[in-house]
Amino acid sequence: MANLKTTFSDIGVMTKRNLLHYRRLPQLIIFSFIQPVMFVLLFAYVFGGAIETSSGKYINFLLPGILVQTILFGAMMTGVSLANDITKGMIDRFRSLPMARSAVLAGRTITEMIRNIFVVVLMTAVGYLIGFRIEHGWGNFGFAVLFIALVGFAFSWVSAAIGLWVKNVETAQSAGFIWVFPLAFASSIFVPIETMSGGVRTFAEHNPITYMVNTVRALSLGTPVGNNIWYALIWVGAILAVFIPVAVHIYRKNT
Amino acid sequence: MATNQLRQYITEARKSGMSNQDIIEALTKSGWHVHDIIDIVVDFPPKETGAAVISVRNVSKHFGKVKALDGVTLDIPSGQVIALLGPNGAGKTTLVRILGTLSQPTEGTVTIAGLDVVKDAQELRAIIGLTGQYAAVDEILSGRENLDMVGQLYHLPIEEACKRTIELLKEFDLEDAADRSVKTYSGGMRRRLDLAASLVIRPKVLFLDEPTTGLDPRSRLVMWNVIRDLVQGGTTVLLTTQYMEEADQLAHHIFVIDHGKIIAQGTSDELKRQVGGDVLELHLAEHKQVSQAAELIKSFGSAEPRFDSNTGIVTMSVQGGATVLVDVVRQLDTANVKISDVILRRPSLDDVFIKLTGHSAQ
């Protein structure tokens, strides 16, 4: 690192630029928010009656899961935005400037983290309107939000690597669904995994999303957290350790 | 350290065998900004202008089996407009991307102002500007926000970046649109903003990849004037173009590139002299008669005539101008081939290109 100060300043400039996009085009946030709201309403009112959970009200079980699902789906935005910057020639512009090489990617993933916190707070408010209640204190819920932001940051890097690799907005979008869907549905987001059977159940039990959701659930409802939080943090660390270098490598090679 | 002390330091450093790169590195480590010292170090002891600022040595670039560049060697003097002329796919963009540190050569070396494009890429980025083929500006931000952002990424203090933005917006006639989203800009405005972004730090060397492609004639003239002003101010400009007229109008020196190789170079006049003589252009009343006409006049030319049955135009290089003209017209008249227009002109760069490559540049 030639100069830590300019690196931080570059990351700041990039983050500001990305956040301005969300301010100018609020529909980008609104759409990433409508979809999880629909999931909450559909699951709570359509399946709610049919799904038995140990923790009482289904909405209390569902909402922590939906929060993780929201940031998982939202992570796809990272790759899509980067692919868009490549197509529009912005990445070439940035690469011809004497700015820190890491700032484009770091600025993007930090922006997505800020967006995630914003959307998670909004989702919680919607949850409150339809009966969700925090049962383990606001302090613990605050930790849950930070934990979700960290998880979102990690998945942003996966998405960044894919977006930089495919270099095309539409492909980045559909490539995103390939890894996001199985992770989201074969997990404890919507239903307790005890209700699943066979291979899916085994997959769900070891799915990182399950550990993450169980951690958020424990922090907001006061259910026992067990080893979930440690497994979840190990997964976050492993994803960051693998995908930061991979994304940076592809950025250098492929753009 | 004042300039005199700087000069003394460089003299000492040179004596002890340090290369320009070493000296620049040492000075930047001790707090100098590359932009402030590069001229002094590279032009030390001060030489007259015209020395090579860009030196390309035997550069090749392979994409899989495709050789986009194949052993390109060229020297570019400072303070001039240099045109890289060639058709689509000739390797112009590939070369500009290498010069602009966006891509690395497979073989060969490139130095700009004594800095290596691979090893010293980061220092180099502080003194060059690059404008690509597509306006690389942020559509969602306003013109002002775009320039402020670039200024900050060049690590100008924020007030200075904003001040420079205001100057550039004025210079490029974008003041009225400054706070509008770039989405609402016309193609010409986007190009101007894109060029302005490359000029935030007043680069020593500016690379322009097809700066006027897709622009209307008026915007093209504006762009040409901007480029001329820049060179007046001491910037070296390397531009790529597929328009003969553009190279003819702007460039002090032209490199003709085709299939990844430099096939000719010189001033516009020098290149035209390679064709020699004049060019005779016949516009036929009956387009179908072009091949018949070409056959009839072949013996008068200094090269094979070319013809296009769509336009009904036959062109041929000739020596001895007016005399040949009379003979040709008489010959065609006897054979009852009607001519609607006859032009005898100096060869254009397009004629040069056809002579060199066997095909047109466009």
Q: What is the 3-state secondary structure of B169-198?
A: HHHCCCCCCCCCEHHHCCHHHHHHHHHHHH
Task: Please classify residue A27 by burial: count the beta carbons closer than 10 Å to its beta carbon, then call 0-12 exposed, 13-18 middle and 19+ buried.
Answer: exposed
**For chain B, how many structural domains are there in total?**
3
Query: Per-residue pLDDT averaged across B257-267, rounded?
Result: 90
Region of B61 please: left (phi>0), alpha (psi -120 to 50) or beta: beta
Sheet harboring B306-308: ordered strands across? B306-308, B313-318, B278-284, B339-345
**Confidence check: pLDDT of B222 > 80:** yes
pLDDT digits 0-9 by tens, A137-173? 899 999 999 999 999 999 999 999 999 999 888 888 8
Whether B316 and B191 map to the same domain: the answer is no
pLDDT score at B139: 93
Whether B319 and B339 map to the same domain: the answer is yes
Q: Contact B102/A88, CB-based, under 8 Å?
A: no
pLDDT score at A2: 53
Give the H or E element holding residue B345. strand B339-345
Residues in chain B with CB shorter than 8 Å from the CB of A96 are 100-102, 125, 128-130
**Confidence check: pLDDT of B362 > 60:** no
Q: Chain B: nearest CA to A52, how far in angstroms?
A: 47
Whether B135 and B223 map to the same domain: the answer is yes
pLDDT score at A230: 95
Whether B112 and B232 map to the same domain: the answer is yes
Q: Which region among A100-109, A237-246, B321-330 has the lowest average model confidence (pLDDT)?
A: B321-330
Query: Per-residue pLDDT averaged across B168-197, rounded?
Result: 92
> Where exactly are the structural domains of chain A?
29-254
Whether B173 and B155 map to the same domain: the answer is yes
Closest partner residue to A24 (CB to CB) among B136, B140, B150 is B140
Cis peptide bond N-terminal to B45, omega within 30? yes
Distance CA B42, CA B308 (A): 52
The answer to whether residue B356 is domain-embedded is no
pLDDT score at B360: 64
> What residue type is A196 in one-letter code?
M
**Confidence grade of residue B47 (pLDDT, cut at 50, 70, 90):** very low
pLDDT digits 0-9 by tens, A97-147? 999 888 999 999 999 999 999 999 999 999 999 888 988 889 999 999 999
Query: Per-residue pLDDT averaged across B221-241, rounded?
Result: 89
Q: Which of residues 35-94 of A touch B (CB under 8 A)?
A: 88-90, 92-94
List, as one string, the DSSP characters of B250-310.
H-SEEEEEETTEEEEEE-HHHHHHHH-SEEEEEEESSGGGHHHHHHHHGGGSSS--EEETT
Closest partner residue to A96 (CB to CB) among B102, B139, B152 is B102
Query: Rg of chain A over CA atoms, in angstroms?
Result: 19
Closest partner residue to B102 (CB to CB) among A20, A25, A95 is A95
Whether B77 and B26 map to the same domain: the answer is no
List, as one string, the DSSP characters of A126-176.
HHHHTT----S-HHHHHHHHHHHHHHHHHHHHHHHHHHHHH--HHHHHHHH
Q: Which residues pair with B75 in a beta bridge?
A: B55
The tokens describing B133, both together, are 């083929």
Strands (E) in A176-239, as ranges, are none
**Confidence check: pLDDT of B344 > 90:** no
The answer to whether residue B193 is domain-embedded is yes
The answer to whether residue B147 is domain-embedded is yes
Whether B35 and B63 map to the same domain: the answer is no
Of the three residues B251, B271, B291, the one that is the final residue of a domain is: B271
**Confidence check: pLDDT of B134 > 80:** no
**Confidence grade of residue A254 (pLDDT, cut at 50, 70, 90):** low
Whether B227 and B267 map to the same domain: the answer is yes
**Confidence check: pLDDT of A1 > 80:** no
Q: Contact B140/A9, CB-based, under 8 Å?
A: no
**Confidence check: pLDDT of A9 > 50:** yes
pLDDT digits 0-9 by tens, A194-236? 888 888 899 988 999 999 999 999 999 988 888 999 999 999 9
What are the backbone dihedrals phi and psi of residue B212, each rounded to the nearest 5 degrees, phi first? Answer: -115, 5
Whether B96 and B219 map to the same domain: the answer is yes
What range does the domain containing B191 cover?
52-271
